[in-house]
Structures are given as structure tokens and as C-alpha cells.
Copies of this chain bind each other. A is one copy, B any other.
Amino acid sequence: MKKDTRLILAIDETDADKAVSIAESVTGSIDAIKINWPLVLSAGPEMITRLSRISDVICDFKVADIPNTVKLIVENSVSRGACAVIVHAFPGSDSMRMAVDTAASMGASIYAVTEMSHPGGMEFTAPNAEALARVGVECGAKGFIAPATRPDRIAAIRAIIGDREILSPGVGAQGGSAASAIRAGADYVIAGRAIYNAEDPRAAAEAISEDARSGL
């Protein structure tokens, strides 16, 4: 994944053709596309491959399973064209290590979720966020997810993870500022509807990317 635009496009559409047309509308103006299970469930796993012909693809699968199942999910995602898979740290070190080793053996990367930004994330993920980040660091995750809506949390995770990467969702529709997220320590910001619901998606992507890079 290159670091040109500092922008990752989250496609939360579940229609196959809409997803592809959104991706095509911003090629060159983003560094990667992030997709999740709803698209796979509605349009099939071949969407990973279709989108990977347009851009780098990150499978935001929030994998949270035993090591052998983690291995199968990462293997299949990467063999279909994903450059990275997002996994949870809370299933512990053996699952995380299996994710990282499987991805690495195929030239792909793992990003770890520590703290989740929705209200329920305060119940179990937030109190464990720093220990969860250490699991990711010890097991060799390429980077971490931390919310643009809470730059203090980006800074807190940055303090633990050294020079590993931070991807920061919540920019745009959810109110996070791209510049503030990057300034707090994020490497990439993630935006979705703010881009593909805009009248001119490419212009919207370029504006967010410019804002992000102003925080460097």
C-alpha cells in the first residue's frame, strides 16, 4: 500500500456494481479500498478480486476466531487479492500471531483492532486497549486502527506501537477531521460516504486527502 494520498476509501455499499463503480470513480485519488463482510455476503467473495484490480484492497473482516480459522480466513482473503486483513486483538496472541504469519508468508499485512469507537466499545475494548495494542506489537501486526473522532486515542496508541502504522476511520460523515487525525499520529485516514455520496467523489476524495496531508 503506497502512502501517496493518505486516504483509504471505505465502501459500505453491498451492491456489486455500485461498489465497483465507486472504486473506479476515485482511482488514483486513494491509496486503498476497505471492504467488510456485508459486501461479501451480498455480492460474493469474488468482489475482493474485482476490487483488487482497481486498487489495493483491505478486508476489514474483524476476524476474531481460533488460530486455525484465522489462518483459513486470511489465506483465502489474500489469495483472492487482498493486500491486508483487519483482525481483532482480543482473541489473544496465538490468533494474532497466526494472522500475521499467514499474511506475511503471502506478502500481505495484518492490521489490529484494539479499541472500538461505538458506545459499546467502552465496555470491554477501551479498558483493554493498551494491552491489546501490545499483543499486536509483540505479534508483528503492520498497524492498528484508531478513531479519527478521538485524536487523543490515536496519540495514546501511537505511544505504544512505535513506528507501526495507524489507520484512522471516522473522517467525514462521522465528524472526524483528517488533518487532526494525521497530526495526532495516524498514517492514513479512512472515509466512506463523505466520498461516494458526494456529487463529485473524486473532488471529495482529493479534498480529504489534501486535508490529511496538511496534518503531516
Residues of A within 8 A of B (CB): 14, 36-38, 40-42, 44-45, 61-67, 69, 72-73, 76-77, 80, 88-96, 116-125, 128, 131-132, 135
Contacts of A93 in B (CB 8 A): 120, 123
Contacts of A125 in B (CB 8 A): 90-92
Q: Which 9 A-B pairs have the closest CB atoms?
A: A92-B120, A38-B72, A92-B123, A41-B76, A94-B120, A64-B64, A66-B118, A90-B124, A41-B45
Query: Which single residue of chain B is at the shortest CB-CB distance from A43?
Result: B45
> B37, B94, B116, B120: which contacts A73 (Cβ < 8 A)?
B37
> B37, B44, B118: which contacts A91 (Cβ < 8 A)?
B118
> B36, B67, B88: which contacts A118 (Cβ < 8 A)?
B67
Copies in the complex: 2
Q: Contact at A135–B118, with CB atoms within 8 Å?
A: no
Query: Which single residue of chain B is at the shortest CB-CB distance from A64?
Result: B64
A132 to B73, CA, bound (A): 25
Q: Contact at A72–B14, with CB atoms within 8 Å?
A: yes
Q: Contact at B90–A119, with CB atoms within 8 Å?
A: no
Contacts of A14 in B (CB 8 A): 72, 76
Contacts of A80 in B (CB 8 A): 41
Contact flag A69-B124 (CB < 8 Å), given A92-B118, A118-B91: no
14 A-B pairs besides A62-B65, A64-B90, A124-B131 with CB distance below 8 A are A36-B69, A37-B37, A41-B72, A41-B73, A41-B77, A44-B44, A44-B45, A45-B45, A91-B120, A91-B121, A92-B123, A93-B123, A95-B120, A124-B128
Contacts of A73 in B (CB 8 A): 37-38, 41
22 A-B pairs (CB sep. < 8 Å): A14-B72, A36-B69, A37-B63, A37-B65, A38-B69, A40-B41, A41-B76, A42-B45, A44-B44, A62-B64, A62-B65, A66-B118, A88-B90, A91-B118, A91-B121, A92-B119, A92-B124, A94-B118, A94-B120, A95-B118, A96-B120, A123-B135
